[in-house]
């Protein structure tokens, strides 16, 4: 589906290194990222980043840290420069790969098309697998990489979605349109989790992240996490754009679930922009998402008795009525409705479409034989020979698209400009951000803007020099 919303996904992967502890993890993750042998650029420019700005018009003095996690930080034995710790790489497909708080993090390039975005998310799998092999060869330490969001001991790490939205939509309309969707989409996009890490104990729940939400909306990401993150860091002209930074979603193994969670957000955002988003004021979204996540009755109702099915149905109906959908957009809506019916009717076909249903199936199958959390981890194991998701794929029960991914081609967005410069003139690239490139020209340097609505270079083969590149970029920006 392509509703014209520039979108990216950043996934912090779980990294288990045999014989090591969380105190070692920042060092290990940095070494892990540096194990990447493919083409990449080192030189990310952090000057434009502003994680303390809030969409509601103020700036936080500081972001909270997890006091338990800080104990690991203060016990760390190795002191490295910030750059060495981050080990930031810009990939030649326009994406980014770095160490974030002890997690290898893969950020896709910005995509307009959902299918492109899923391919780039899968390219992250390949990158992490490659690094796991290299890391073991370099260090002699066996490691495991998990695409999940919890360690079952109270530590969580995110899979974030970024959606560029016109600033004119406004915070209030954005919040009203998005919050019900963030809560309700859990029933179709949750990755599933054995156990609970806060609140009422349970054996199984739909969401990896629901236990970690403490507030409806704030700008935090590490502690007192919100369902609706208000960080205002658009990576674009802030007068025209804001970026909705969604931190409440789960990491999905099933690529169709990844596509679904993004398509649902695109629908909510376009309806917000058009002024036709359904109205579902939720009195307590945190309680609602926790309740839906743990609902063994499968009614999936909020505390006020509204079902997630009804919420999602209303968005699909509004999309048909008010959005200009192409044939692929209508197919995406049909898929969402079909999967929702499978979930509602306990149809086994949902195993192949929804991660939490597949995980619950495995937990039932392994009942009594294994700790459910070990099964949960094995489901998210990126090792194609050992991971249970890939075992389901080998049995034809879930899709496996990992092998179909073109790893190097950038999507036809501003990422294509970034990728073109890195591929053709790597020696001239001095610094990279999401919204600009700094290039060496003659005896000086020039920073050129990459606006979010620029198309890919129309004739890249005709661009023969850095000077041509800048001229063509300025022509397209005009």
Partner 1 sequence: MPERINRPKPAEPERKLGEDEGPKNPNLQKPSLPNELLRRMKNIDPDQAKKYRQRSGQ
Q: Please list every residue from 210 through 269 that binds partner 1, using CB under 8 A.
A: 211-218, 221-224, 226, 230, 247
Selected range binding partner 1 among 206-214, 269-277, 319-327, 337-345, rule: CB under 8 A? 206-214
Closer CB to partner 1, 257 or 363, in the complex = 363
| C-alpha–C-alpha distance, residues 183 and 289, integer Å | 5
142 contacts partner 1 (rule: CB under 8 A): no
How many whole angstroms separate alpha carbon 204 and alpha carbon 356? 9
Instruction: Quote the CA–CA distance of 45 and 29 in Å, as a whole number.
Output: 20
- Report how far residue 14's alpha carbon sits from residue 107's, in angstroms, rounded to the nearest whole number: 15
Q: How far is the CB of 465 from partner 1 (least distance, A)?
A: 39
Q: Which is nearer to partner 1, 214 or 316 (CB)?
A: 214
Residue 369: which residues within 8 A CB-CB, separation 6 or more? none
Interface of this chain with partner 1, residues 40 to 79, rule: CB under 8 A: 56, 66, 68-69, 72
Name the DSSP letter for residue 150. Answer: B
> Is residue 83 within a helix (H) or strand (E), and if so which, with residue range?
helix 82-86
**Which of residues 34, 366, 408, 440 is near partner 1 by CB under 8 A?**
366
Nearer to partner 1, 27 or 116 (CB): 27
Tell me, yes or no, if 151 is annotated catalytic. no
Strands 14-17 and 143-146: antiparallel
Residue 391: CB minimum distance to partner 1, A? 4
Which residue is listed with tokens 């919050």?
179
Element of type H or E holding 40: strand 40-41
Q: Given the rule CB under 8 A, which of 155-163, 317-325, 451-459, 462-470 is the region that contacts partner 1?
A: 155-163
Q: Please report whether residue 177 would count as binding partner 1 according to CB under 8 A.
A: no
286-345 residues in contact with partner 1 (CB under 8 A) are 286, 296
- Paired residues of 97 in beta bridges: 89, 106
Count of residues that interact with partner 1, criterion CB under 8 A = 86
| 366 vs 425, beta carbon nearer partner 1 | 366
Q: Which of 26, 246, 251, 354 contacts partner 1 by CB under 8 A?
A: 26
Q: How far is the CB of 344 from partner 1 (least distance, A)?
A: 16
Q: Closer to partner 1 at the Cβ: 214 or 274? A: 214
20 to each of 23, 141, 315, 368, 447, how far by Cα in Å?
8, 9, 46, 29, 42
> Which residue lies nearer to partner 1 by CB, 41 or 157?
157
Ordered DSSP codes for 231-280: B---SS-TTTEEEEEE--PPPPSSHHHHHHHHHHHHHHHHHHHHT-----
Residues in 433-472 that interact with partner 1 by CB under 8 A: none
Kindly name the residue from 100, 211, 232, 295 that is annotated as catalytic.
Answer: 100
Q: Give the residue numbers annotated as catalytic, written as ranges.
A: 100
């Amino acid at each position: 589906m392509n509703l014209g919303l520039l979108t990216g996904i950043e996934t912090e992967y779980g990294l288990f290194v045999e014989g090591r502890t969380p105190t070692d993890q920042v060092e290990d993750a940095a070494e892990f990222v540096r194990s990447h042998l493919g083409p990449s650029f080192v030189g990310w420019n952090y000057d434009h980043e502003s994680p303390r700005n809030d969409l509601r018009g103020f700036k936080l003095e500081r972001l909270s840290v997890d006091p338990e996690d800080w104990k690991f930080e203060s016990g760390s034995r190795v002191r490295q420069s910030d750059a060495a710790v981050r080990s930031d790489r810009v990939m030649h497909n326009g994406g980014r790969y770095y160490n974030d708080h002890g997690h290898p993090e893969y950020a896709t390039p910005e995509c307009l098309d959902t299918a492109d975005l899923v391919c780039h998310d899968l390219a992250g799998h390949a990158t992490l697998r490659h690094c796991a092999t290299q890391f073991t060869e370099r260090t002699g330490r066996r490691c495991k990489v998990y695409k999940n969001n919890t360690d079952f001991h109270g530590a969580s790490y995110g899979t974030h979605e970024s959606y560029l939205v016109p600033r004119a939509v406004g915070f209030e309309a954005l919040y009203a349109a998005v919050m019900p969707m963030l809560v309700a989409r859990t029933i179709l996009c949750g990755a599933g989790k054995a156990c609970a890490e806060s609140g009422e104990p349970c054996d199984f729940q739909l969401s990896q992240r629901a236990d970690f939400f403490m507030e409806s909306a704030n700008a935090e990401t590490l502690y007192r996490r919100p369902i609706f993150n208000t960080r205002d860091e658009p990576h674009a002209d802030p007068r025209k754009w804001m970026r909705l930074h969604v931190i409440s979603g789960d990491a999905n193994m099933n690529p169709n679930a990844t596509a679904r969670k993004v398509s649902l957000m695109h629908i909510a955002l376009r309806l917000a922009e058009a002024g036709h988003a359904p109205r579902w004021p939720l009195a307590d979204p945190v309680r609602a998402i926790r309740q839906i996540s743990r609902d063994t009755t499968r009614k999936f109702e909020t505390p006020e008795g509204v079902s997630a099915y009804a919420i999602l149905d209303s968005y699909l109906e509004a999309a048909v009525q008010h959005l200009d959908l192409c044939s692929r957009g209508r197919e995406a809506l049909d898929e969402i409705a079909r999967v929702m019916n499978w979930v509602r009717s306990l149809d086994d076909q949902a195993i192949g479409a929804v991660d939490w249903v597949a995980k619950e199936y495995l937990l039932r199958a392994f009942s009594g034989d294994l700790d459910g959390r070990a099964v949960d981890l094995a489901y998210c194991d990126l090792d194609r020979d050992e991971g249970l998701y890939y075992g389901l794929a080998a049995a034809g029960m879930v899709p496996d698209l990992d092998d179909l991914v073109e790893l190097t081609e950038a999507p036809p967005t501003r990422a294509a400009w970034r990728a073109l410069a890195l591929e053709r003139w790597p020696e001239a690239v001095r610094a990279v951000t999401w919204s600009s490139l700094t290039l060496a020209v003659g005896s000086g340097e020039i920073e050129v803007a990459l606006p979010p609505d620029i198309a890919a270079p129309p004739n890249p083969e005709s661009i023969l020099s850095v000077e041509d590149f800048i001229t063509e970029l300025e022509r397209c920006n005009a």
